Amino acid sequence: MRYLIIRVLLLSCFMLISTSSFSEIYKWTDKDGNLHFSDQKIEALNPEVISVDTPKSNWSRFNIKINAVDVILSKEEVSAIEKGVNYVYEFFDKVLFFDIHTTIPVNVMILKDKSEYKKHLISKNMNHLIQSYGVYLGKENQIIVYIQKDRQRTFDTIKHEVSHAIVDTLIPYTPSWLNEGLAEQMETILKYDGKLHINPHEQNKRRVSIVHKNSRLLNIKQLLKLPSKEWRHTLATENRQIQAQSGQFVLFLLSKPNGRIFLTGLIHHFDRGSRTISYHLVDKYYFGGLNVLDSKWEQWLKIQNIKPIAL
């Protein structure tokens, strides 16, 4: 709450400054020869309007470069990629309340098919990732994807990896379940009617339903206690089940006001450099604590939110 109040006060100050910056500045000399400046026009003093040169800023939130290798992208497809990147940035800015002041490079390499994608990853000794749809290479600030039969899925994958680029740049200590869960939701993010919308992830819904039915789904206590290294090991050995669960858990949190508060609290906690296990932060950021969170999650699992979430 204190953080939100500070944001409102800062925004108010910014609006006042912005308003005054667009006002005219007047200059006049009094009878003693003293020079005066004011934003108030006094006709009797015969003021002179002066112009103030404000240098233009070249800063931008992201610097996107698209390298399509043996692939032809239409103008509409390039536009769709750029819009998708913007939606992801807007989510972190307006939903998670991150003021992004660091230009985040988004270098996207789009390969023509899965075969070329595999060859490229093997050349980088990344054989363990060849079954993926896309990867983000933090050291190179590069996203690598390939054209899928459904080209839209390629563009959705780019949004997924852009989320990783933002988290890697701004919040490097984010636990893996949260990092991956956010990225899964960015795949379905769209903007219409002036609002961002998160659509249900049908593939994750099916996977989680099967695992939950077979009683093989990690309970929330187990998920939130997993260190990132163990989470990634589980991902490598359990065929993406934990990735689907992390995605659906973040979707569940986004669907409820209490969950959004918890999600925002967590992400800003890790922004401050904390490496606390998520489990130990539940009582601090989720009203009702772990028991209520677990109960609400179990109820939500029965339907897994079939409607888009307007943010």
86 Cβ neighbours under 8 A, 6+ residues apart = none
300 Cβ neighbours under 8 A, 6+ residues apart = 252, 255
Q: Is the pLDDT of residue 50 over 50?
A: yes
- Select, from the ranges 128-132, 204-208, 238-242, 272-276, the one with the highest average predicted confidence (pLDDT): 204-208
215 versus 61: the higher-pLDDT residue is 215
Give pLDDT tens digits for 180-210: 999 999 999 999 999 999 999 999 999 999 9
Residue 186 is predicted with a pLDDT of 96
Q: Angle 241-254/289-301 helices, nearest 10 degrees?
A: 110
Q: Is the pLDDT of residue 18 over 80?
A: no
Average pLDDT over residues 223-230: 93
Measured distance CA(94)–CA(29) in Å, rounded:
47
Record the pTM: 0.78
Q: Is the pLDDT of residue 57 over 50?
A: no
* Burial annotation 258-295 (CB, 10 A radius, 16+ → b, else e): ebbebbbbbbbbbeeeeeeebbebbeebbeeeeeebbe
Q: Is the pLDDT of residue 216 over 70?
A: yes
Measure CA 203 to chain center: 21
Average pLDDT over residues 244-272: 93
Q: Is the pLDDT of residue 61 over 70?
A: no
Average pLDDT over residues 163-177: 91
Measured distance CA(68)–CA(142) in Å, rounded:
13
Measured distance CA(218)–CA(222) in Å, rounded:
6
Q: What three-state secondary structure class fits 191? A: strand
Residue 13 is predicted with a pLDDT of 47
Residue 68 is predicted with a pLDDT of 93
Q: Is the pLDDT of residue 55 over 70?
A: no
User: What's the mean per-residue pLDDT of the chain?
Assistant: 84
Domains of the chain (ranges plus CATH)?
Answer: 2-50 (no CATH), 58-170 (3.40.30.160), 175-311 (no CATH)
> Sorting pLDDT into bands at 50, 70 and 90, what band is 37?
low
Tokens coding 119:
């060859």
